[in-house]
Chains A and B, each alone.
Chain A
């Protein structure tokens, strides 16, 4: 069967029909439940199937106060699903509580260097040189400091601070990714604040001259992934 999302089992119906007619079933395990259908076989990731999957996630986000979208194409037997829900109930339950009544907003920022040219990819944090030279023997404190610097470097997005300040009042959590000259900032905000967030982000980006594309609200895809 195909697994679409993790939700809280409380209040979830045993089965229901999606707007597009698909029959969906809810597999409960303790306080968690998974929304599944019993169709065998994985859909190919085409534009149409990906859009359909995203529409279903939006629909589930409207129906349930908290959902964790499952990665596209996840198929497994019911026993295995129950075992996973049971063994990971603490972390999945915590993540579910974290995204309750919240939505994801995405801001993509094109990175530029001082000459206005597009920047290359950000080096992985693990390759950042240690403070005070690379030939010195690392202590535990050095290691923790390097981890803190690496985390700060991952979060840094050139020119994004005015936007970050403008939307800070709504942001409950943040993820940042750097890839191919584009920094993607994912913010978890209250569902009811999406319009206000978008207006504040777009206004502050325009006034500070940052090329930023704001999209959302999305189901909390970026806050459902565990690293």
Chain B
């Protein structure tokens, strides 16, 4: 008894096969160009980020229940400075030598942690 032909075989054997290829190639393949950022090292793409820029006033996008965000940020900063001055937290070069903080010694790193993490 002859085997029943599948839908895929019927399409692939017909004259529509070339159209199937064209649809697959033209609509499903090819470079997608958009506002992307690719960070590469030694010609290997490591980080890919789609860029979507939102330009508006900060108070329009920050949560309503957090009106004193900047005030709390400044308070944390003052506290870090006080701790550093009192000697309870190592300065950046010391921490880098002793390996106390993963951020220490890195450009822009903070020996006492980043704002908002404490």
> What is the CA–CA distance of A106 and B28 in the complex, to the nearest angstrom?
14
A3 x B33 contact (CB < 8 A): yes
A-B contact count (CB 8 A): 110
Residues from chain A with a CB closer than 8 A to the CB of B23 are: 50
Q: In this assembly, does B56 line the interface, its C-beta being within 8 Å of a C-beta of chain A?
A: no
B29 x A221 contact (CB < 8 A): yes
| Known contacts A54-B25, A110-B8, A213-B17: A87-B30 contact under CB 8 Å | no
- Nearest neighbor of A80 in chain B, beta-carbon distance: B35
Q: Mark A186-227, 1 if CB is under 8 A from B, else 0.
A: 000000000000000000000000010101001101101110
Interface set, chain A 38-73, CB cutoff 8 A to B: 45, 47, 50-51, 53-54, 57, 68-72
> What is the CA–CA distance of A118 and B25 in the complex, to the nearest angstrom?
24
Residues from chain A with a CB closer than 8 A to the CB of B8 are: 108, 110, 118, 180-182
Interface stretch (choices A11-19, A88-96, A140-148): A88-96
Chain A interfacial positions (CB closer than 8 Å to B): 3, 6, 45, 47, 50-51, 53-54, 57, 68-72, 74, 76, 80-81, 83-84, 87-88, 90-92, 94-95, 106, 108, 110, 116, 118, 180-182, 184, 211, 213, 215, 218-219, 221-222, 224-226
